[in-house]
Amino acid sequence: MLRWLIGGGREPQGLAEKSPLQTIGEEQTQNPYTELLVLKAHHDIVRFLVQLDDYRFASAGDDGIVVVWNAQTGEKLLELNGHTQKITAIITLPSLEACEEKNQLILTASADRTVIISLNPEPSEIAMVTKGPCLAVLRRLDVWLSGGNDLCMWNRKLDLLCKTSHLSDTGKKSSLWLSVRFYSMNWISALIEIPKNCVVAAVGKELIIFRLVAPTEGSLGWDILEVKRLLDHQDNILSLVNVNDLSFVTGSHVGELIIWDILDWTVQACEHNFWDPSPQLDTQQEIKLCQKPNDVSIHHFTWDEENIFVAVGRGLYVYNLQMKRVIACQKTAHDSSVLHVAKLPNRQLISCSEDGSVRIWELREKQQLAAEPVPTGFFNMWGFGRVNKQASHPVKKQQENAILFSLELIGDLIGHSSSVEMFLYFEDHGLVTCSADHLIILWKNGERESGLRSLKLFQKLEENGDLYLAV
Amino acid sequence: MISAPDVVAFTKEDEYEEEPYNEPALPEEYSVPLFPFASQGANPWSKLSGAKFSRDFILISEFSEQVGPQPLLTIPNDTKVFGTFDLNYFSLRIMSVDYQASFVGHPPGSAYPKLNFVEDSKVVLGDSKEGAFAYVHHLTLYDLEARGFVRPFCMAYISADQHKIMQQFQELSAEFSKASECLKTGNRKAFAGELEKKLKDLDYTRTVLHMETEIQKKANDKGFYSSQAIEKANELASVEKSIIEHQDLLKQIRSYPRRKSKGSDLCSRETEYTQDRPSQAATTSDPEESADTDRYTCRPAYTPKLIKAKSTKCFDKKLKTLEELCDTDYFTQTLAQLSHIERMFRGDLCYLLTSQIDRALLKQQHVTNFLFEDFAEADDRAVVRQESAPAEPSQDRPPSRSLEKCPIPQVLISMGSYRSSVESVLIKMEQELGDEEYKEVEGTESGSFDPQDNLDCLDMDMKGSISSGESIEVLGTEKATSVLSKSDSLGSLTVPLSPQVVRSKAVSHRTISEDSIEVLSTCPSEALIPDDFKASYPSAINEEESYADDGKGAIHFQVGTSPPEPGEAEEGSVENTPLQTDASCCIGKETGGPQVPLSSPALTLSDEEGVVSTPPQRSRQKDQGFHVDFAMENSNLSSRDHSSEGFPAYELDPSHLLASQDDSKTSLDDYSDSTSCVSSVASTSSDRMPSSAHPTGPSSERHKKRAGQNALKFIRQYPFAHPAIYSLLSGRTLVVLGEEEAMVRKLVTALSIFVPNYGCCAKPVKHWVSSPLHISDFQKWKLIGLQRAVSPAGTGALHALSRYSRYTSVLDLDRKTLRCPLYRGTLVPRLADRRTHIRRGSTYYMHVQSVLAQLCAKAFLYTFCHHLHLPTRGREAEAAAASRQASFLQLSLGLVNEDVKVVQYLAELLRLHYTQEHPGAIQPTLRFDYVPSFLYKI
């Protein structure tokens, strides 16, 4: 006789330490992604995705290939081989508005060389320019920078404008090659542009601010001047972004989040007790969790006008810039490190992780009347310790004005079999994820796609003259 | 499957009443004419009487100049097939009606023997005593040693079913022409080779004789010729003459007018040989001829031998075999073609007809037919046949024209011989045929024929029929146009009258003489059949009906079928009452065996004209068990299965038909044995053929049968078959998990009949995988057999499976569980009824196909209804469109719950298929829903 058991939803969590990971069943009504397309071209980890225009994106990874895709159809448009080693950075140099010919460049950096791919009118590759794993574009000056163990400045025509000497120990502008021991410490790992023709480079624990001097009447060439070194971080800086016109943010391996003033390079706010076991913390498990530095390293952040969304270890934190504190968090958003987060226009947050999943969160505002008291750290704050035991619900943070925010899991995308390195959101075409399983997956809104296909069908019918409209 | 005979025949009427909505009548071209002979009260499977052979076969006979008509070989080459049927006797019969008058020799006024390139003649012939009817295809092959250089042969398709021959005449003729063409091509090649050898011999002989004469001349200086010398000189002269003759023959055979058109529609496997033709068939231009010569001379060196100038016409020499006459290659090709023909026309006529219609309809459904069709094999057959039919009219003219252009005088047929054949035509017509009938005939035929001619012809027939003592009745002959022009005097018979008019009369009204061969029609060249007549050919036979019983007396089982033809519907209703009484009394009269139960509703004529009065000798016996069996199996078929959404060329294996008569008593339990037995029969029978032609055919049928059978088993065995099938239909990958490969494979094969196709390529089914699955596998495959292994790799596979559980339904064969979403629709229960009475795999397969066809029709409607998907006025909320779609799916298409998703998925596939530029280029996306799964256990 037939009997069926409702076993709905919970899948065995393979990686399960007894994690209070929030899960969502198979019924995800708010998850719009009901269609996927697997794109195969790479044969090693795909690490980077970059959007080229409304419908194209490029992917790059450890196999040294750059592939250009059509985000609508999933069609492979181009495959570009130039690197012999892993690609470490990819950036686009948009075509100038003033420039008549549209000439979008893709710059890719790898340990071997930088390759510039010009996409319009036809793709071409320009061979080795320099060594350097890190790239930045200064739009205002229309130059780009490559950073490795030195910093080079280039223009669109690929002339080397200027070059710093090797960055070694503080203060010394020596031309000595770095010893292997310090190699990683002195390698520019991130590079962003800030106002006043300055760039910030993250080198190990330090932030170095360089000023680019444009040629003036007095001096002939470009010059790069080291302006300042900021030594507030205690560990390697992993992420560095411009948040808005006022500040930029850095995150380090041990979970320090520092918000800097973009103009005078001073610390506006610092949040470094993501990892600090708060005094109240007593359970062994949580200590264990927190003691792994990997669990609190800040891999990525994203921002909007009000908040910075920080991927800390396995968790997600929402830091409010005005209130200067964390307003919502999800301590274990994923089974393992969150690698990339992005904010969608509709208050949704997407995160991807080493556990191979992509999760969609929504930041919800809640009024809560009776809230438990909130401990305040010296900056405020919220540590791991405050997790309530039934942690299957998002941890709430009570504000003074009783507005609570929470991150609600509204859907997850399971497709990759290995760590999801990065994703890219297209307003019109859905989400593109890339992963260490060599795949790229295009997630689409099935309903919308179906409508589009239907439209296409009737267009084709009309073209063929087969369309008879009902009277 | 809509047009499967059993489905047509045994559908319950009451099911129509349950129709939720009234289906409008279908357009004419979609309606499926039902079995035209149903009115005879015969079920389509009535066992044919009298015939001493168990099934149709092909006979090749020769009119040997030594021993007279003799059978050479049969296809299939198995004595069981023709049983006690007297092949010798029948050979005599069929060889004696060769009208091609292959006269070769010295025509008056010609110095040398002339070869005639005789058109094959095609005759339909019946031997009522033997219960055998045959399509006979005469051809002549050239043989240097034969009298007049020709050897008459014929190939006959022999069947116990006269209607089959008549109805399939066109197809038979086309197919046999191919075979004949192949034989003749090989023969010309061999003949030319033979001539060359002979020429070399002669040349050598001449040289030798010449030398001898010279020697004699030298030796003999007395100035007078010895008798010896004179003899030598005579011999030399005759050798010279012989050389000239043979050279002339060689030239003739090489200048064989090429049938350009024929070459093109030959099967692909003959193309290698047709390569030879352009040069061979050549015109008389020199370069080509030299090329020809090259080709013929580059044979292995031949050492000439001394021969006698006068060939001795003696009876002790051994005649060449057919294989020697043609090239061995060509001979085997011909045999392959013949066995292809045998397979092609195997089975019941009703089945052949319906499958032909079926295929024709299926072709029209190009938008949807990719979903569930098995294209590998449908194309295989359909193309061959379909292509030939419409192509013929245009292609048939050239040969006759080329004949006319041929420089060689056309002495195809001497007046004398032709006249004599006409005189022997004696047609027994029954006098009581009224004038009205004639007019009716004219009415129907006037489109293509001059009524006057018809009348003439009929008059002639009537005169001829007065004396009917002769044993041969020739009912119609047609000759090549080139001949016709010379034989105006021959009167009405030579007019290319409609063969079927006459033929049909013959069918209906000839009296059976003790010892009779009835030639039902001959038409030596298809070229003579007017185009428009051809087009109407398959249905033309229906016109006989008007004779039956005063027109109205036609036997009707007027039962509501799904969509009756628009025109016929009213007619039927008017005539309903009288007809039914007629029918019953007819049945009463004719009872010999078990009757067709009148209640069995589907013995219906969609076509009033489809009635043919019964040849009296036709047996009414039926195999009751067999009949009931089918009725049972189909009793639960939905009436709507007749929807014209063409579904597919499922070919019932004739051996299955035969075998099922025996097997009908086998119980359910040992059913599987009987199927395997049936299939083994099929396999052996197909293996016997020298078949290289269509190896996929029978195997895929067997495959279907097995698949159907296993699917049935699955449905019976697992109570959760419905959600599993729903998963497949809605595009959710079903993973069949098991330890034993054979079991998994079997089930995967069985379930694959429910998997919709992406395009015209193979179904997205992976039978056996042992490595862990990836996301792309779910995009690619919709049905996967997965190995459950204890190894770490196995656990990896299981882990992957649980990780991707939202994309899959998992059927665990070992634990007998199923994990998949809930299904509450009504579609699948109809598709897979656990308590179904269907017992045979093939029947179930057809049932599935018919339900799926209906589903496709719905998906088609849904996909292509403009107003559903596009905003009707300006900017409309998407929600409005969505609700329109939902209400259409629910109210108009009658879909409930999850059935909607099935149709939506099929609609997606249709859209993809329709819009994509290059079929198969784009892989469909993996669509899924976030729905909870449930675990089902037995």
- Across the interface, whether the CB atoms of A14 and B776 are under 8 A apart is answered no
CA dihedral B228, B233, B234, B236 (to 10 degrees): 130
* Best CA proximity match to B518, nearest among B657, B380, B424, B455: B424
Q: Residue B779 in 3-state DSSP?
A: helix
Residue B472 has pLDDT above 50, yes or no: no
Question: Is pTM beyond 0.90 here?
Answer: no
| Set of chain A residues whose Cβ sits within 8 Å of the Cβ of B774 | 417, 437, 439
Q: What is the pLDDT of residue A292?
A: 54
Q: What is the DSSP string of A81-141?
A: E--SS-EEEEEEEPPPSS-SS---EEEEEESS-EEEEE-SSS-EEE------SEEEEETTT
A65 vs A46: CA distance, rounded Å: 9
B811 vs B788: CA distance, rounded Å: 12
Q: What is the pLDDT of residue B550?
A: 40
B298-333 pLDDT, tens digit each: 445 567 777 765 555 555 567 788 888 888 889 999
Residue A240 has pLDDT above 60, yes or no: yes
Residue B928 has pLDDT above 70, yes or no: yes
A191 neighbors A147 (Cβ within 8 angstroms): yes
Q: Residue B796 in 3-state DSSP?
A: helix
Q: What is the pLDDT of residue B918?
A: 66
Structural element, H or E, at residue A358? strand A357-367
B91 vs B380: CA distance, rounded Å: 33
Between residues B785 and B150, the one the model is more confident about: B785
Burial of B673 (0-12, 13-18, 19+ CB in 10 A): exposed
Taking the Cβ of residue A370 and every Cβ of chain B, the question of whether any pair is shorter than 8 Å is answered with: no
Q: Which residues contact B802 (CB under 8 A, 6 or more apart)?
A: A11, A12, A14
Residues A131-154 as b or e (16 or more Cβ within 10 Å = b): bbbbbbbbeebebbbbbbbbbbbb
Q: What is the pLDDT of residue A392?
A: 41
Residue B902 has pLDDT above 60, yes or no: yes
Q: Summarize the confidence of residues A148-157 as an average pLDDT.
A: 70
Q: Summarize the confidence of residues A9-38 as an average pLDDT.
A: 66
Alpha helices of A149-237 — where are they, by DSSP H?
A: 180-183
The length of chain A, given as a count of residues: 471
Between residues B131 and A294, the one the model is more confident about: B131
Residue B45 has pLDDT above 60, yes or no: no
Q: How many CB atoms lie within 10 A of CB B809?
A: 24
Q: What is the DSSP string of A401-464?
A: T-EEEEEEEEEEEE--SS-EEEEEEETTTEEEEEETTSEEEEEEEHHHHHHHHHHHHHHHHHHT
Cα B717 → chain centroid: 38
| Residue of chain A with shortest Cα separation from B864 | A458
| Set of chain B residues whose Cβ sits within 8 Å of the Cβ of A355 | none
HEC string for B808-841? EEEEECCCCEEEEECCCCCHHHHHCCCCCCCCCH
HEC string for B111-139? CCCECCCCCCEEEEEEECCCCEEEEEEEE
Structure tokens at B864: 């292509």
Q: How many CB atoms lie within 10 A of CB B922?
A: 18
Residue type at position B58: I
A283-319 pLDDT, tens digit each: 444 444 444 555 677 888 888 878 888 888 888 888 8
Task: Tell me which range, A44-58, A105-119, B531-545, is most confidently predicted by mean pLDDT.
Answer: A44-58
B229 vs B736: CA distance, rounded Å: 95
B46-86 pLDDT, tens digit each: 555 556 777 888 888 888 888 888 888 888 887 777 777 88
HEC string for B495-554? CCCCHHHHHHHHHHHCCCCCCCEEEEEECCCHHHCCHHHHHCHHHHHHHHHHHCCCCCCC
Q: How many CB atoms lie within 10 A of CB B837?
A: 12
Q: What is the pLDDT of residue A399?
A: 40
Q: What is the pLDDT of residue B396?
A: 37
B713 vs B733: CA distance, rounded Å: 21
Q: Summarize the confidence of residues B754-766 as an average pLDDT.
A: 81
Cα B511 → chain centroid: 31
Predicted confidence band at B295 (pLDDT cuts at 50, 70, 90)? very low
Q: Summarize the confidence of residues A89-116 as an average pLDDT.
A: 68
- Across the interface, whether the CB atoms of B937 and A7 are under 8 A apart is answered no
CA dihedral B318, B319, B322, B324 (to 10 degrees): 70
Q: What is the mean pLDDT of chain A?
A: 72
Q: Give the closest-approach CA distance of B353 to chain A in angstroms.
A: 31
Predicted confidence band at B518 (pLDDT cuts at 50, 70, 90)? very low
Sheet of B733-738, strand order: A3-5, B933-937, B817-821, B808-812, B733-738, B783-787, B765-769
A321 neighbors A341 (Cβ within 8 angstroms): no
Q: Which residues contact A180 (CB under 8 A, 6 or more apart)?
A: none
A397 neighbors A405 (Cβ within 8 angstroms): yes
Interface with chain A: mutation pick from B716, B722, B776, highest number of A CBs within 10 Å: B776
Taking the Cβ of residue A462 and every Cβ of chain B, the question of whether any pair is shorter than 8 Å is answered with: no
* Best CA proximity match to B662, nearest among B651, B685, B678: B678
Structural element, H or E, at residue A33? strand A33-40
| Set of chain A residues whose Cβ sits within 8 Å of the Cβ of B929 | 34
Q: What is the pLDDT of residue A101?
A: 52
Interface with chain A: mutation pick from B717, B758, B777, B803, highest number of A CBs within 10 Å: B803
| Residue of chain A with shortest Cα separation from B910 | A457
Q: What is the pLDDT of residue A403?
A: 59
Cα B676 → chain centroid: 26
* Best CA proximity match to B784, nearest among B768, B806, B762: B768
Q: Which residue has the tokens 């290698």?
A: B272
Cα A228 → chain centroid: 26
B609-659 pLDDT, tens digit each: 433 333 333 333 433 333 333 333 333 333 333 333 333 333 333 333 333
Could you say which residues from 12 to 51 on chain A have a Cβ atom under 8 Å away from some Cβ of chain B? Answer: 12, 14, 25-29, 31, 34-38, 40
* Best CA proximity match to B646, nearest among B349, B344, B360, B352: B360
Residue A167 has pLDDT above 60, yes or no: no
Q: What is the pLDDT of residue A432?
A: 92
Task: Tell me which range, A166-175, B85-94, B370-379, is most confidently predicted by mean pLDDT.
Answer: B85-94
CB-CB: which of A14, A453, A469 is closest to B912? Answer: A453
Between residues B494 and B362, the one the model is more confident about: B362
B382 neighbors B649 (Cβ within 8 angstroms): yes
B571-581 pLDDT, tens digit each: 433 344 333 33
Q: What is the DSSP string of B21-82?
A: SPPPPPPGGG-----TTGGGT--TTPPPSS-SSSS-EEEEEEEETTTEEEEEEEES--HHHH
B375 neighbors B760 (Cβ within 8 angstroms): yes
Distances (CA, A) of B292 to B73, B299, B304, B601, B769: 33, 12, 21, 65, 57
Angle, CA A232 vertex, CA A226 and CA A237 arms, to 5°: 80
Cα B492 → chain centroid: 33
- Across the interface, whether the CB atoms of A470 and B867 are under 8 A apart is answered yes
CA dihedral A143, A148, A149, A151 (to 10 degrees): 0
Q: How many CB atoms lie within 10 A of CB A58?
A: 23
Between residues A164 and A360, the one the model is more confident about: A360
B854-885 pLDDT, tens digit each: 898 889 889 888 777 776 665 666 777 788 88
Between residues A151 and A173, the one the model is more confident about: A151
- Across the interface, whether the CB atoms of A11 and B776 are under 8 A apart is answered no
Predicted confidence band at B913 (pLDDT cuts at 50, 70, 90)? confident
Q: Which residue has the tokens 């198995």?
A: B78
Between residues B568 and B915, the one the model is more confident about: B915
Interface with chain A: mutation pick from B720, B802, B805, B806, highest number of A CBs within 10 Å: B806
Q: Give strand pairing partners of B810.
A: B735, B819
Least confident piece of the model among A15-29, B29-43, B713-727, B753-767: B29-43
Interface with chain B: mutation pick from A416, A437, A441, A453, highest number of B CBs within 10 Å: A453
- Across the interface, whether the CB atoms of B774 and A437 are under 8 A apart is answered yes
A223-235 pLDDT, tens digit each: 777 788 888 887 7
| Set of chain B residues whose Cβ sits within 8 Å of the Cβ of A11 | 802-803, 805
Sheet of A325-330, strand order: A298-303, A307-312, A315-320, A325-330
Least confident piece of the model among B185-199, B482-496, B734-748: B482-496
Q: What is the mean pLDDT of chain B?
A: 63
Structure tokens at B185: 């091509």
B716 vs B718: CA distance, rounded Å: 6
HEC string for B623-683? CHHHHHHHHHHHCCCCHHHHCCCCCCCCCCCHHHHHHHHHHCCCCCCCHHHHHHHHHHHHH
Between residues B189 and A135, the one the model is more confident about: B189
Percent of chain B with pLDDT over 70: 49
Residue B559 has pLDDT above 70, yes or no: no
Domain architecture of chain A: domains with CATH:
37-128+424-458 (2.130.10.10)
| Set of chain A residues whose Cβ sits within 8 Å of the Cβ of B932 | 6, 8-9, 25-27
Alpha helices of B346-434 — where are they, by DSSP H?
A: 349-364, 375-405, 415-423
- Across the interface, whether the CB atoms of B800 and A415 are under 8 A apart is answered no
Q: Give the closest-approach CA distance of A423 to chain B in angstroms.
A: 17
Q: What is the pLDDT of residue B95?
A: 81
Between residues A96 and B792, the one the model is more confident about: B792
| Set of chain A residues whose Cβ sits within 8 Å of the Cβ of B904 | 450
A391-424 pLDDT, tens digit each: 444 444 444 444 578 888 888 888 888 899 889 8
Q: What is the pLDDT of residue B783?
A: 92
The length of chain B, given as a count of residues: 938
A39 vs B785: CA distance, rounded Å: 24
Distances (CA, A) of A365 to A317, A393, A404, A405: 15, 14, 6, 4
B714 neighbors B721 (Cβ within 8 angstroms): yes
Least confident piece of the model among A215-229, A356-370, B279-293, B802-816: B279-293
